[in-house]
Amino acid sequence: MNTNPTTITAAPGTPFVEVTRDFDATPAQLFKVSTDPDLIAQWLGPRELEAEVVEYDVRPGGRYRYIHRDADGNEYAFRGVFHTVEQDALVIQTFEWEGAPGEVCLERATYTKTDTGVRLHTQSVFPSVESRDAAVQSGMEHGIRDSYDRLTELLAGGAA
């Protein structure tokens, strides 16, 4: 089981969030689990929410949309467009929570081989410091950490 920590950096006064975590997998395995719609639904989001992947077309110009639902039936939908996709190496996409329309982030994810596996590093640029702060205050950190823990469990189970 991977015991690597998830590092989240959101420096005050900036519109940026960076996330880094090492995984016990190859870049190809992590990329597959990060881009296959059936696998995405198994790890994306906090454990207490159900995930429905409506669309996940990982290619330049492809779109995605997924919905998280809580036990009370409340929905939290997210969408975006893939801009750059380099197999097993890089994904650049937009990200928008439908609850805050027009607050679109630009996200860059790199998959880098390490001596022991692969490092996933994401960088998100929000349209303003205020929108970044609102995302951080919404519980984003819990969602990221729980998602990456679930991703680690999925990889350990041989999903890729």
122-159 pLDDT, tens digit each: 999 999 999 999 988 988 999 999 999 999 999 998 87
CA atoms of 115 and 100, how far apart (whole Å): 40
Mention every residue, 6+ apart, whose C-beta is less than 8 A from residue 51.
40, 41, 42, 44, 45, 66, 67, 68
The model carries a pTM of: 0.93
CA atoms of 23 and 154, how far apart (whole Å): 11
Mean pLDDT of the 67-83 span: 96
pLDDT band at 2 (very low <50, low <70, confident <90, very high): very low
Q: Hey, what are 152's tokens?
A: 């680690």
Percent over 90 (pLDDT), the chain: 88
pLDDT value at position 138? 87
Mean pLDDT of the 5-19 span: 96
| Residue pLDDT, tens place only, 104-128 | 999 999 999 999 999 999 999 999 9
Which domains are seen in the chain, by residue range? 7-45+84-156 (3.30.530.20)
Confidence check: pLDDT of 160 > 70? no
pLDDT band at 3 (very low <50, low <70, confident <90, very high): confident
Mean pLDDT of the 51-66 span: 97
CA atoms of 21 and 39, how far apart (whole Å): 19
